[in-house]
Structure 1
Amino acid sequence: MKNWKIIGLLFLIVLSGCSTKTADTLEEDYTKIGILLSDTGLGDGSFNDSAFRGLEKARDELGILFTYEEAPDGNFEQALEILVKQENDLVIGLGFTAQEPLEAVAKQYPEQEFVLIDSVSALENITSITFKEHEGSFLVGLVAAMVSDTKTFGFIGGVDAPLIHKFEVGFQEGVNYILPDATLLSEYAGDFGNASLGKSIAEKQIAEGAGFIYPAAGFTGVGSIQAAQDKQILSAGVDSDQFFVAEKAVVTSMLKNIDVAVYDIIKELVEKGSISESAYEFGLADGGVGLAPIRVKSLTSEQKALYDEAVEKIKSGEIVVSTTK
């Protein structure tokens, strides 16, 4: 009986060793992705959450492993170095504010492959992904002009930067496509993470006559959307479908399909072993941007036809939406 116990114990030890080795081997076989989220982190209902959905889809469909870091203290370089030292096959920096620290870390680790989302880098080991936010914002403006009872509109930007200008300019041109004499009230919060500030800016614009608010301001924008509902005017969401934020106010949202871009770039890495291009730009024609379903208000058949026509003209290049003020 003792002999059988000894044999059984040896068998368990050997089996345990094999299992450990198999787990290590399996982990080595996975493509590993690390991402540094932008300033406001998970739960913003917008930019970061969209990227996270792309990672989850890649995990479920492509079998990758992923990890993420947040840097609420602003120390992006430290967070990026953590991701590099975890031996991730790809490290993603989310948001244009990550460019400087990402480039600093990329210079220290020239063999590491990086992706920068929302800005363009010239470094060889960084692949850049940008979007034509101005095209999607044009459609928001178009719809806003069709459904609003006033000719005054509000735009709230997170920070006064070229990327956010694309949202503002696109929105204004979309409004003016329908209402050439419309007024746009524009203000930049200087913060992507302050909902109460977004609320106060929106309330000020509403007091000045704005009947529709469009924020491109992350969590700050959530406050402005909620203010629109409180004051019984209309609004649009941004980056993700934000209808749930204020279901009586959000007519539509400008979808910036970061989840699609993140998934596609990981899929290319998994299937080909590398990323082929140094830069990608996603717009209306290739599904990079678009609109969420139109709710709260309905378009007439004539308005719907005009909307569809504008979409096709943007895709074909007949309508060229500006990118700068």
Structure 2
Amino acid sequence: MKKIAVVLLLASFIIAGCSNTETTKKDTEYRIGILLSDAGLGDESFNDSAFRGLENARDEFGMIFDYREATDGDPEGALTELVEENHDIVIALGFSAKDALENVAAKYPEQQFLLIDEVSDMDNIISITFKEQEGSFLVGMIAAMTSKTNKIGFIGGVDVPLIHHFRAGFIQGVKYVKPDAEVFVDFAGTFDDPELGRTLALAQIEKGADFIYHAAGFTGYGSLQAAEENNIYAAGVDIDQFFVAEKAVVTSMIKKVDQAVYDIAKTLHENGKIEASSFQLGLAEDGVGLAEIRLKSLTPEEQQLLEDVTNKITSGEITVEAE
């Protein structure tokens, strides 16, 4: 399948920038500030992916960046600090940062902001969201192909619409392959409690689940380890989490936050600014996908089915519902 990468989706930024009569200074050291989501740096998932995108931009373009973790419960204060450090763009990572970001954006109308995983209508906020349900559909197919008990588990972080995308797509993918399979669903209520993730996974295993998929941030880390300790299979999320549990993780649903952040930085480097808008990245835009499939060898028929469905989702022939 030909992939066009997230860069193409941001082409409108570049076109708009090129039409500007102002001289672009590619040698300028642009500055980016980022407020990480609740679990913070080291979550082996969402935050680390975004951070890696900024590191890549720093290494390639000489971009300067700084970050904050609002562990004190004051995201507005953290965002304000980043604004006052004169960053060219300030990023808020995660749906829970929306209200704080909009409050700060209203106070600094000339500052450009980026919100990832939620949508804002404010003129100085760019919004980037992902079609997590599409990548999760493919994980669900693999789970169904792998499961011998026909009992499969899903563990979400917080019970909110964003995490419903993962759950809904996953269940649709499972049912596409095995309509009679049973899917257990639990929400941890947090993205930052691996012991709770382990506990939830063990309860699902006790009920017969032999494949568990999580969309729970660092909480899900515990579920992957529980799967490995109990000799069942699992799938990671956001980044390739095979290294977390190398005897359990068959694949991961890749959410290319790193690529999206990198592309924003590249556009800023090349054009000096970014035209505010809203973008949603799915399989067609190479915004989500699958990590390498390991541990489980798909049959030729299973591999062909996975490829066919991927192409049908990309072309729009199959629509994966978000709820």
TM-score above 0.5: yes
Residue in 2 that maps onto 1:52: 51
Report how many residues are paired: 298
Residue in 2 that maps onto 1:4: none
Give 1:162-311 correspondences, 5 Å limit.
Answer: 162-311=161-310
What residue identity is the alignment partner of 1:307? L
RMSD, aligned α-carbons? 1.1
CA–CA separation in structure 1 for the residues paired with 2:226 and 2:286: 30
What's the secondary structure of 1:29's corresponding residue? coil
CA–CA separation in structure 2 for the residues paired with 1:289 and 1:300: 24
Alpha-carbon deviations, 1:254-300, whole Å to 9, x = none? 00000000011111122122213411111111210000000011101
Alpha-carbon deviations, 1:79-132, whole Å to 9, x = none? 101100100000000000110101110011111000000000011100000001
Residue in 1 that maps onto 2:32: 33
CA–CA separation in structure 1 for the residues paired with 2:184 and 2:315: 30
What residue identity is the alignment partner of 2:152? F
What's the secondary structure of 2:166's corresponding residue? helix
CA contact (8 A) 1:99 1:116 kept: yes
1:120 is aligned to 2:119? yes
**How much identity, in percent, do the aligned residues show?**
60
CA contact (8 A) 2:123 2:276 kept: no
Alpha-carbon deviations, 1:286-323, whole Å to 9, x = none? 21000000001110111101110010000011110000
Residue in 1 that maps onto 2:99: 100
What residue identity is the alignment partner of 1:252? T
CA–CA separation in structure 1 for the residues paired with 2:305 and 2:221: 29
Which structure has the larger Rg over C-alpha atoms?
Answer: 1
CA contact (8 A) 2:135 2:289 kept: yes
1:61 is aligned to 2:69? no
Structure 2, unmatched stretches of 5+, are 1-24
CA–CA separation in structure 1 for the residues paired with 2:114 and 2:195: 32
CA–CA separation in structure 1 for the residues paired with 2:262 and 2:123: 21
The TM-score normalised by the length of structure 1 is 0.90
CA contact (8 A) 1:39 1:74 kept: no
CA–CA separation in structure 2 for the residues paired with 1:56 and 1:282: 22
Alpha-carbon deviations, 1:209-253, whole Å to 9, x = none? 111100100000000110011111110000000000000000000
How much does 1:61 deviate? 1.1
CA–CA separation in structure 1 for the residues paired with 2:137 and 2:28: 44
CA–CA separation in structure 1 for the residues paired with 2:66 and 2:303: 43
